[in-house]
Structure 1
Amino acid sequence: MGKGKQFGYFCCYKSNFDHLTKEVEKLRERRESVQHRVDFAKENGEEIEQSVENWLISVDKIVEEAGKFVEDDEEANNPCFKVLCPNLKNRHHLSKKAAKEVKAIVELQDEGNFDRVSVRGISRDRLVAYTESYNEGHEFIESRESILNDILDALRGPYVYMIGVYGMAGIGKTTLVKEVARLAKEGRIFDEVVFAEVSQTPDLKRIRREIADQLGLNFCEESDSERIMMLCNRLKREKKILVILDDIWTSLDLERTGIPFGDVHRGCKILVTSRRRDVLVSEMHCQNNYCVSVLNKEEAWSLFSKVVGNCVEDPDLQTVAIQVANECGGLPIAILTVARTLRNKPLFVWKKALQELRFSARNFTGLEALLGSTIELIYNYLEGEELKLTFLLCSLMKHPCDAPIMDLLKYGTGLGLFEDIYTMQERRDRVYALVRGLKDTCLLHDDDTADWFSMLGFVRNVAISIASINLMVRNDALIEWPNKDMLKNCIAIFLHDINTGELPEGLEYPHLTSLCMNPKDPFLHIPDNFFAGMPKLRVLVLTRMKLLTLPSSFCHLPNLESLCLDQCILGDIAIIGNLKNLEILSLCCSDIEQLPREIGELTQLKLLDLSNCSKLKVIPPNVISSLSQLEELYLGNTSVEWEFEGLNLERNNASLQELSILSHLTTLEIHIRDAVILPKGLFSQKLARYKILVGDVWDWPGKSENRRTLKLKLPTNIYLDEIIMNLKEIEELYLDEVPGIENVLYELDRKGLPALKHLRAQNNPFILCIVDSMAQVRCNAFPVLESMFLHNLIHLEKICDGLLTAEFFSKLRIIKVRNCDKLKNIFSFSIVRGLPQLQILKVIKCNNMEEIFSFGGEDDVGYNEVDKIEFGQLRSLILKFLPQLTSFYAQLKSSDELDTPKPLFNERVVFPNLETLELYAINTERIWHNQPVAVSPGIQNLTRLIVHGSEKIKYLFPSSIVRNFVQLQHLEICHCTVLEEIVSKERGEEATATFVFPKVTYLKLCNLSELITFYPGIHTLEWPLLKRLEVYGCNKVKIFTSEFLSFPKNSEEIQRNIPTQQALFLVEK
């Protein structure tokens, strides 16, 4: 310490003591003020915050010490010594101590600025009581943990202030948010948590009063405006508060309720539950929304058996009990209700309950009443008859657990869903909106697949029972045709799995608009006059039938608008040409070789579905071009032998040019195997939905969410510009051997392919770069790209080159690169910073790959000093056969580091959620660095680790790394020719090391010729769940000593082909 400062203590002796006396007095005043607040809070039954009590104790202690200190000072300055011989050493010591005391006292004063000194006891007690009473009937399900953690993470963040949770009634929303409240309180995310139930008819006065009571706020004023202001101010006093609003049905005015949020009060966060997603998104404007779905079968059975008790251990009863649990559809409220009802009941009661669950009736009785009332309640509150009809129609599908929305489009006409809607696109938009509405109410499962829907079996049973008034539906085998009078007034009949042998004649169904039959026996005979008594029929669906000729009574269906003969064996269907009002014709997946010429007479036809008619080879000339109103044409996975259209050539088959005549065409699915016959101007700019494959290398894709797919293999790029220009908003683009393309992005679309989600480029010797913007203006390219596959691009030098915006690749989740020998890295660091969604990275057989992510680009300047590079969402990392790879992320090195071997993963790289790591033939000397503190959070979620074919690695892991393998299940190390030990010993390692692999079930060590030991020191190994151990080709070690190492009884296989030398797994006393 400097002499000047020491001298200052002597000179400032008096001022330091004067300062101390003043600050002590200030602290006493502050303590008195806080004590008054504490006393008042205790009188109101509130609990004093522990931090406040600790502060009061600290104040009392330091004030007492300061008092004694002043007394010592007075003694040291006794008048008899003050003039004659002052103690300079003592004075210096006291002055220095006074200065330190002042500093400590000032800090305590600052700490005493409490926003609050207590928590309202009623709030905590009420919340716990409510949670416990609720959870007695709604056990918290472990599978909700991921949603729970996501909500808690969002609540911790600074920018999200309103969060929504949605799901059908009885699904467990309230249970979930109560658990959030408990954990948020315990984890001190919030100082206070309040709860209010909103309900279908919100009473703002009641909601205000409920929140105010939990905060200890008494409303004296009577006017609404004064109560709003009082509640708002009270909430603002809470530095961190969570407001839970349960069961919102429609928009709730938070300002009129008195709840401050957003910029008004950043510390107030709101958690909302609703049965409808659209309420949260469109009306409450929640920033994050989480769906609480039904339980899977394992979870459902676990909950069910837990409630029922030990009786399910009876083998006879257990079989029935599992079926009963499955019939509850994963709905917690249904599971709990049924389980409690059947608990301790005899087997015959269980069997009867199973029958009741399987065969619903409109008038709910018994268990049906308990289960069905929930669904019927939601149904009754659906807005509009169209939404209700759509719900019922969804239940009528053969497999509603995974059904295409296309079926609703085909069948909806019969129930009047599209009155006054004329174009297919408008109808499709209407169906999407209706299905979205049902998903928002959770009557349909929301799995984020726009073109498919899923309805739970339990929900379907209730829907069918509701529909049974005017509709006839049978899901079980129909052995005998229903009574004619019973069906006389039906407007729709859906019969699945018909097994009657024959259909009746002379039926009179004057009101019938929809008929769907799906027999078990494809040879079911349809009488010739079967359809004669159905004059109003608008939709006819015959599935899985052998129809070599169609009944002549087809001519008596003048109003038929939709005809679906899917999965049928078809012969002569020329009579269809008489159905002049037909708008939809579907022969999907049927056995038909030639389309009849009469189909061309259907001039009102808007949709023709011939997809997956794999035997279809002939479409007569001019049939397609005659369908002047056609809007949607599906020809995927057919074998049509398209012909050239010449001036003087007589054709026997359709030509592709006919498609260009269809001026209303908005949807096209087609596979043109021979690119040579591709005509100019084939694809119209009007195409809004398409799946177009050109070339013989493509297989027709299955179920896909992409509405605009283009896959090209072209002998020349002569029509490429035209194709890309006309096909707007491509979502999925595959390129194979398309000559002339060097820069994928700007040569195809200078706007940056803004709608592209999936890009695959393969087998192309011309491509040099995917994005080369060096000569371009910065653009927001690939803003929604989710996956990128680059295979066998032998001259690809860079994926990206040039200036990039922050949104570039911002949605990218999957990167796979293979056989790109000129590529030296994947991305520069500036791009890595913009990959927040990356989940899968796979790089294979790129012979010149030096680093996965490089440093040193124009945009990388200033980032070499970044402390950490976190790949927060990366789940799988696979690196194979990269002989030049030296580092995952290369950074600039100082001159004294140039000769130091680099680890594959340096101390800056962190993978907090990595689950799979596979390394094959990676020639680095070290995989991980030796900085345990930095790497600890990086691999704690790793479940699968494979290292193969390294020729330089002498040890695999530092010991500090191994201790983070708490989730590891699969460990495989093979063909590492110089590997001597699995785990290395670090400096300062304890005398006896313990390594625990708590979840490893599979361990394989093969062809490790130099392996000497697992760990070079005294150590203990624990593998409590190991089931399979394979060790061979490790000639310098034996597996383990018989004295010390034991395996669990469930070990399945141990392969030992090694001599007895040094123990691989050694435990020494």
Structure 2
Amino acid sequence: MADVRNLKAEIDEKKSCFNGWCPNWGFRYWMDTEMPIPRFFSSFETTESACNQITEALKKDSTKMVGLHGLGGVGKTTLAKSVGNQLRQQKIFDKVGIATVSQDPDIIKVQGELAKSLGWALNEKDEKERADRLRLMFSESKSSKILVILDDIWKQLDSEKKLGIPVGGRDNCCKILLTTRKKSVCDSLGCDTQIPLSTLTPEEGLALLRKNAGIDVNDSTLNDVSKEVAGECKGLPLAIEAVGSALRGKRFNEWNLALHNLKAAKLYAIEGVDEENLDVYGCLKFSYDNLNDDNSKLCFLLCSLFPEDYEINLEVLVRYVVGLTWYQAESIEHARSLLRGTIEGLKAASLLLDTELKNSICGQLFHLSDTIPALLKHGLKNWKKLGIRRLGVQVVFQLEAIIAEGQENNLFPCLKEVQLENLRELQVLYHVGPMHNFSLQSLTYLTVDGCTMLRRLFSSTFARNLLQLEALYVWNCFELEQIIDEDEDEDEDHLQPVCFPKLKRISVGYCPKLKHLFHISVAPSLQKLKYIWIIGNDELEEVFWHKDGADVTEYNEIVMNELGDLILSDLPNLINFWPAGYQIPFPSANNVIVDVPSFVQVQKEIDDSKNSGAHVNS
């Protein structure tokens, strides 16, 4: 009871002198909860040595900043959290805060994570104001010793100016432990002590693999092959955990096959990843390839579309899963239960990690390992079909989240079919800057139906890459104004025209704001076109159009030799099928239905079709 009274008195006192910045009882409980350590964290001589060095360095009064550096997947984050837990338990530090910086740091997000981990409210919106507020809160907490863990730093960062973390002041109450893959980052930030975290020794790696694979200590049949498998993991704990989990309960022949597959899974080039960091990616790819079912793979790839280090909410994923109809679920609750099982499987495979805020009021949170995002470009390469239905998303391909500006992007090289149905809030299919070179170069079938807020379908840059497109169906898009939207920064005189050399079928219906389908420059490429069905588009004036309209005097004939079916119906404002100066005969048409009483431009083609014996209704 005395301890309880002392704790309450301390909290009341801090609430008074900190003007309410001190956390409430519930938050204090969360503050005293240890940072979670992944299952694969074990005490080995390698990790113990680094742990002792960090602890001794942080205990020194002269130390302001300690840098922990090592390969991706070697266990830097896990070790940093373990050290933080130990130092708080030993009362060396009163508080331990943590924030993930990442390769492209979002300063607002980093400041928010840090404040929350220390139990502080940070309501300011501006980056500088938030830094000032954090600096003030650190100052008001100078009677407390605080350790700040800045995880996954990739480049120089002024922690005091940008984040608001005062280091090296007169009181020296705050110290920083940072983790990074690059020793040069420790040098540039002026770390007082730099500690390398080495890979596990062969003996340590083998022991960890056998532990995670559940190999019986008395089973000698797997001795040799397990040593070789452990060797392929290069002493990286994350890789060993992933491979061990995938091989749990497997027999000798399966271990031999796994060894072969591991060697074959080596990745020799991943954009943005140093060669020395590639080993862990091959092991994670092996873990992904060995997932038991397609739903697990799809769930993992869906998670990959969230930003790096993003805390993914289970309930958000539930909505996507229901919309994508992955599970044959009887209800949303049933789908939620199935999804939980899938997520637990991904965690067991070390492809997803828990966050510090498990079981929060908004649902379970988890995130990808920081080694995953670069691997995803390989993982997405086998997607062939994507269907999204009945969701409230505003952007389908939110590429800023996973692609850096200026990079060549080829995320879905095998995606052939996309179906977007009843996405009531969808406004654009993609959301990329002018420097992006994103394409769906294998896309053959695109269906867009019931996307009532969609304004445009393709940018001209995007459309130029759709050389394999065979069928385009666009229906019930009530706000759609353009099929192809010209890029604002394009110079029309120096660009190649949009071409659809394999397009066979076009069906556009009930898009009341659409005024034309394609620019006339597209027409010469439509030599494979067999079917055109245009119905119920109230404002449609031209099927093919030209900017200069009637000012075009040069006569051009573009023959569509393979067009067999033409249906034009319920188009009250249709003026032209082709613009002035052009004519588009279709000599092979055998089924022509033109239910537009005032429209006579294709009458000659209709008459020719009648004379050839084709079915014509006009």
**Fold match (TM-score > 0.5):** no
Q: Which has the higher contact order (CA 8 A, sep 6+)?
A: 2
Bucket of the pairwise TM-score, normalised by the shorter protein: 0.3 to 0.5
